Amino acid sequence: MAFMPPQQGAQGLQGPTSPPPQFTPQQPQATTFAVDPGAIAGCRLRFTYVWLRNGDSFWFYPTFVGRTSVAGYRWNGFFWMYAGLDLRQITSFTCF
């Protein structure tokens, strides 16, 4: 399936119109105490795989990066759901 760019809606930027890639990337070796907002800002509007401190990992599509948090769309296996994450909870990420 080809990537479809996000749609602009009345409430602002919407999530992607296609599912994320059908693979799970390999987790980067380096983990951090907290993710730098400048680092994850490069993943804005891109498919991003995120690993959390609690062991969860999932596809994420960031649309906003703040000083201590990131917001966007989390893939639940069936559709995109809007979600926010504390940058301290992210151990590593990779984007495509």
Backbone torsions φ then ψ of 93, nearest 5 degrees: -160, 160
Global pTM value: 0.84
**For the chain, which domains are there?**
31-95 (2.30.30)
Query: Given this model, what pLDDT does residue 75 score?
Result: 98
Tokens 């800002």 correspond to 41
Q: What is the mean pLDDT of each run of 10 residues along the chain (96 residues)?
A: 44 83 91 84 97 97 97 97 97 95
Query: Given this model, what pLDDT does residue 3 score?
Result: 43
Which residues have a Cβ under 8 Å from the Cβ of 76 and sit 6 or more positions away? 58
Region of residue 61 (left: phi > 0; alpha: psi -120 to 50; beta: else):
beta
Query: Given this model, what pLDDT does residue 5 score?
Result: 46
